[in-house]
Each structure stands twice: as structure tokens, then as C-alpha cells.
Structure 1
């Protein structure tokens, strides 16, 4: 691709040739459990040399090719275009599994799933369908030049086209992407426009300056945008004739679902990274950690020492609680999309939305909600995991009419955003505690660079500064004490 630069090293997709062939022969999974297992398979492959790849810090061209051949990029896409037609419950689980062995690739997958479904929240029905067709049928990987905190990408209107000029300080995955989501402000207004463009063009130039302590393989450096053009018809949720936002698309609470959706993407790869850290630490302790001989209650084996058992038990319990909370938050997000008339990435398919329903899994949402006891309306993850193949569906309980997005109220959206904030707080705090605390059970030798135990903490620490978790705690506190739902912002 033209954005590859001399001196920058890229991993070679050929290193996974055997895996590509195996995934191609196996085809896409057909059940929820099958998709989660596929993610575990990818995680196992990435985990073989994750620490070394983190050290080498090459651009992850091979790793993204593995996400492509495995089908994980298409897990949410419509079957009619070659996708898995799963909803966000499964999407979130897939992200989490990959992040267990490679936080960078878990993050890239999560961002891709969000950006590839952007039109589902802010596009017209026609745009949703056309975007899915392009992405899924071509198995494209999507990066994003989206950082709404800074109004540094300007849009002008020239005839039937919109023209982007400016820069973004962060552009996750763009260097190895096929498509890029652009977001900017239309000149003379305060209105933001989202669209997708081909990455490989002269007007998109990456600085290749991503050099943070963590998430080293995400290629999240800055990008310069010069005269990048798109048809007005590709401005998501805008009327190409009037060149104004369509009120029925962008003027409703549903249009802001991208924010809680991506916030829960963050929680899932934080959680996956922390779970992976605990698993790797456990394996090391079983094989290599030595008992301390000067403690006064000496043991022959480290696994018999009280403090080691206590810490592992504490971390496992906290991660199990975070896991359950995050699963339920994911189901709440998926319910909102169902209520808006969507099954996975399929818009307005009444057969999927109305007939294929697991009524035991998706419960009716209560009307009378206590401000100090936000609803916990979903059944246990065990129900989700153990459905028979013919029952593994994700319909809305009462069925949804096509394009029912206007039915989602600000209150309903806000309640789910608060639930997502719960998960963000817990996964951030627990993730940082676990990934820094594992060293206490490992011993000094485990700080060796070759083991890569530090990468788990570095990855969560780097991304958890994306938007301060203190403000999520504030949102939850106002919800608890005052019954105030979080107001939609670019980070809520």
C-alpha cells in the first residue's frame, strides 16, 4: 500500500499461511459458541509469540491478515454479504478473547467492529446496507481518524462532494486498514460528518509516530488529510440535496449509540487483557515461582504459600465479577439495537427481529425504574452459552419494526450508558490492579523482558487514559444519588 514507508517494518502475512488455509477450509462459524471458539483459536495463535512481537514493534500487517482469514472482522455483518450476522453480545466476547493474548489486536478488532458498523447508528437505512455490503463482501479492515475532542479536520462543500483537510492526532489502525472512517466539522457550522473512504490514496498520509508505552501494535499515530473527497451521498445521515443533517436519523437519541457502544469495546479489551495476564501469571507460578524460604511458615512450593493463594483468589474473584457485569452490559447494548430494528448488522429483517426470539434471555425492560437501583434485567450467561443451535438467535422480545430507531428515548439510552459506565469503572480499576499486582506472585525473575508480563499493564494503562475514568465514576455517582442519566457527549 502507498502509505508504507521506507524504514518501517511490517509483519509478513505469509507467517500465518497454514492458519489462513485452515480457516478457509473450516469456513465461518454458524453459532454463537462457534464464533467465540474461533476467537479463542486466533488468540492461541497470537499468543505464541505475543511478547516478542511487542518487543519488535512492527506494523501488524500479518496480524490483521489473520483477523481477516479467521472471519472475525465479519462477525457482526449480514449473512447475505458473507458475514456472521451476530449481535454485539458475541462481538464483545470475541474482542475479549483476542485481547487475552494480544491487547493490541483485541483493540484493533474492537475499533474495527465499531467503525464498520458506524452507519448502523448514524446512517440512513440505505447507507447502512451499502456500507455493510462494501465492508463485508470485501473483508475490509476499517481504521478510524476520529478524535472529536479536537476540531482539527475541516470539511468544505464543493458541488456534489465534501472535501476533508486537516489532521488527526490519533488514527487507530489506519496504517494497516483498507477503509478509514473520517470525522470532521462542516465549515460554517458546528455539525460533525462521518464518512468512510479508501485508505490507500495520496491525500491520507500517516506520520508513523506511534511510540507509546503500551498497545504498541495498534498504529495509533497521527495522520494528515489533504483534499480527501467523498460524495455528499456518503455523508452518513445527511441529505445530499439540502446538505443538512436528516433529523429522523441524526436528531434522535439512537444516533448517539456509538459512544456507549465503543466505551464497552474499551471495557472488553481491558477485561480480556487482565484475564490474559492472570492466566499467564498462573502458568508461570505453577512452573517457575519459588517458595520464599524466610517467611516463618516455610513451604516447599510457591503454590502452597498463603499469600500467593490469597492474591490469586482475590484477582480471580474480582475478574469473575467484572466478567459478569461486562457481559450483561453488552446484552443491554445489543438490546438497544434490537429495539431500534436491528439484528446484528442487519437492518429491518422482520424474520430475524420477530420470529427468532429467545424470550428467556432477553427480558422485557421494566417501566418503573428506581433511581438507586438501575435495572439488571437479563438472564445469566449460562443461558446464553447453552442454547441449542436452533435457538441461538438475538431477536428483540416483542419484535421490532424496520427502522424503529425513533422508539429509543433519551432516558432509555441514558440508563444503558450508565450501565456501561459501571463496567468501564470496574474493568479499568480491576484491570490495572491485576496487571500490576501479578508481579507479587511471580518473583524477580519474571521481570525479564522475554516474558513480557509488563505488556499487560502497559496496554491497559495506555488506553485507560483515553478518557479519565474519574468522570465515569462521577456519572455513576450522579445516577446513584440524583437519578440523573449520563448526558450524551463524545465520550459517554
Structure 2
């Protein structure tokens, strides 16, 4: 991968406003786009790509400004994720997950815990990974004096080998209480397995991980005071927040697919020999398809932006979040997740109708957009998102906070 050096990024003025941060993301995306298809085929661990995110400062976007962070909010973060995903869906996912795991200390932890984590993360430009696959209930947490010991296995651990710190999750032995803790990714007993071999999102380092007696102090257990968890409704905002991350890298991938396809159509697609047109861009079905797909994408982008603003109101005043406001927000997230899934799948599959047979070569790599969307949209069934919306409309029913709602 060809990236600019840390010195090059340091010579540029540091972004200060949301618009400047989004522009910085666009500059990073331009670097990623130069060899995105080749890197997708190679499937190598994205060490250089994560270094680019660090050098450009994007990893500190949500961090406190007084400690070197960007001091931005989730509205900006979602736009940044979308911008990066236009060029590389895998890196967009990695960055979006990083933002969530960085913010997880604030979602779940005490003020003392999250202030410490956010300061250290911003100062050191930590990149976060997470071994928090909720469908795997085989990580047990035991007590050993003032330490907690995590033992078990997770099927997925996004970020794994390219992360500096990893969020762990397990169930405290003999209870139904979940424990979250942030540990260095090179902790003794933490073994990442190089077994992520899926058709899409190939550079997300989402393979399995073994936890063989990973130790961390009790004091690092997020939200626990004197070994008792102090719950807040805000704790449950992790799911709609990460689902909105999903939405935005889906939309970024779809936008990248459209932009890439349009460039191909303008320069390389041939008009149909019986259509009576000299240029592919004059073919009525080509013009109609691009107009149709763009209109659909713009519509769901507008909804995503509106929902992001609604979510930011909750993040701005965590102690005021109620079951009602949390539930209403989750319904809105469910609605945009359903639409983003459908539109992104349509865009990334239909671009071939307007690029032509020659665009399907491996070298072009246009299939990566569809493979990336198809792979991640299977994370949880979209029908259940529509169900949340339908039950809310018909009965005023709020989604029960779970690992997926």
C-alpha cells in the first residue's frame, strides 16, 4: 500500500471543524482508493491502512481535544466512516468499530474509567479491537484476588492483530453478569487466529480469538464499583450506536460502488450495438439506472443523517436517557438499517447492468462492493429490524434491549 508518511500528515494543518475532519477523511480515502481492489485480492493484514488512520489523526476523532483528540461528535464520526468506506469497506468497518469500542468506556464505565481511557487513547492514538461476539457465550470470567481472569474463545474479534487494545467480554462465573474490560492486544493468553477467510470485508481482521487466562485488574471492569455493576439506561445505547455505524459504512460502500461504476461507464463502457447511440452515457436505460440508484441512495443517506442527529441528543445528556427515548431511537435506527441494507445490496449488484460484461474482470474488482455488503448485512436478520418498526407502529411496542436491538 502506498501511503503518505507521518511527516506529510503532520505538515498539514490539524482539522478543527467537522467539515475539516470530513475533508481529512476524504484525503485518506483517496489514498486508500488507489489500490483498494489489489489489497482486497491480497487479503493481507491491514497494518499500513491502520497506520494511515493513525497518522492522519482519524483514530482520535472522538477523543477529548485537551488530550490531542479531535473533540468531535458522533454525527461527524458517522460521516467520516461513510467517507472511508467509499474507498475501502473493510477499513470503514474497522474505523467504525474502533469508534464504538473507544466510546464503550463512556457507554458502560464510570466517569473515572472513561476519562482515563479516552485520555490515554487520544494521547497514544490507540486503535481498538473488540472480542465481543454476543452469540458466543463461552468466555468465563473468574476472580483471583484483585484480578479478573478471562478464559474461553470468541468466533469473531474484529481488529484483532492490527489493534493496540482489545475490548473483552465474558460472564462472571456463577452469575449472569457480563463484564467488559479493555486490555492490551498483546496481553499474555490472548491469541488471535488468522482464520478470517470470508468473501467480503476481507481486511477487517475478524477471525477467532482464544482467551487463555487473560488477566486484568478488577478496577478495569467497566461500570463496576466495589465489584457491583452500576447500571444506567445509557449502557444499552451500544447496540443502536454500532448499528448506525453499520448503516454508514453500508452507505459508504454503496456510494463508492456508484462512483466507481460511473467513472467506468463514462470512459470504458461501450454502447449497445443495436441501441442507436454513440456513447454509453446516452443510453436511456443507463441514464435511468444511475438516476434511480442515486435517488434511492440520497434518500437513505438523508434518513441516516437525521437519525444520527437524534442519537447525538442522547449522547449529549446520558443521564437523561430513558427507556422510552432509547426505544424510540432504536426503532429509528432499525428503520434506516433496513433501508440501507436493501439499497446498498441493490446498488452494488445493479452497477454491472450499466458497466457491461467487461467490467466483471477480476482486475477491476467491482465485485468487492457487493461482496462486502452481502457479507456484513448478514450480521443480523434485517427482517427483525422491520419487525421492530412494525411493532412500534401498531402497538407502540419498544424494542427490548438485547445484544441485537
- Alignment TM class, shorter chain as reference: over 0.9
SS at match of 1:438: helix
1:51 aligns with 2:37: yes
- Residue from 334, 339, 343 that aligns with 2:312: 334
Alignment match, 2:375: 462
Shift of 1:202: 2.9
Gaps of 5+ in 2: none
- Residue from 263, 266, 276 that aligns with 1:283: 263
Q: CA RMSD in A?
A: 1.0
CA deviations on 1:85-143 (whole Å, 9 max, x unpaired) are 10000000000000001000000000000001101110111011011012111001000
CA distance in 2, matches of 1:112, 1:28: 21
Across the two proteins, how many residue pairs are aligned to each other?
405
Alignment match, 2:228: 244
Q: Structure 1 residues 145, 438: CA separation in 2 closer, same or farther (over 3 Å shift)?
A: same
1:33 aligns with 2:5: no
CA deviations on 1:279-313 (whole Å, 9 max, x unpaired) are 00000000011110124xx2111111111011000
SS at match of 2:166: strand
CA deviations on 1:373-416 (whole Å, 9 max, x unpaired) are xxxxxxxxxxxxxxxxxxxxxxxxxxxxxxxx1x2110001111
- Residue from 62, 82, 88 that aligns with 2:68: 82
Alignment match, 1:354: none
What pairs with 1:308-327 in structure 2 (closer than 5 Å)? Answer: 308-327=286-305
What pairs with 1:88-167 in structure 2 (closer than 5 Å)? Answer: 88-167=74-153
Normalised by the length of structure 2, the TM-score is: 0.98
CA deviations on 1:333-378 (whole Å, 9 max, x unpaired) are 11101122xxxxxxxxxxxxxxxxxxxxxxxxxxxxxxxxxxxxxx
Shift of 1:21: 1.9
CA distance in 1, matches of 2:243, 2:309: 14
CA distance in 1, matches of 2:30, 2:353: 26
Gaps of 5+ in 1: 1-10, 341-404
CA distance in 2, matches of 1:71, 1:428: 29
1:485 aligns with 2:405: no
Shift of 1:27: 4.4
CA deviations on 1:169-200 (whole Å, 9 max, x unpaired) are 00001111100000010000111111100001
CA distance in 1, matches of 2:87, 2:252: 8
CA distance in 1, matches of 2:398, 2:295: 29
CA distance in 2, matches of 1:141, 1:27: 22
Q: Structure 1 residues 27, 226: CA separation in 2 closer, same or farther (over 3 Å shift)?
A: farther
SS at match of 1:194: strand
CA deviations on 1:29-68 (whole Å, 9 max, x unpaired) are 0001000000000000000000001011110000000000
CA distance in 2, matches of 1:19, 1:320: 35
SS at match of 1:451: coil
Runs of 4+ in structure 1 deviating by more than 6 angstroms, as ranges, are none
- Residue from 250, 275, 279 that aligns with 1:301: 279
SS at match of 1:172: coil
SS at match of 2:16: coil
**Which structure shows the higher helix fraction?**
2
CA distance in 2, matches of 1:270, 1:408: 27
CA distance in 2, matches of 1:471, 1:311: 29
What pairs with 1:383-422 in structure 2 (closer than 5 Å)? Answer: 405=319, 407-422=320-335
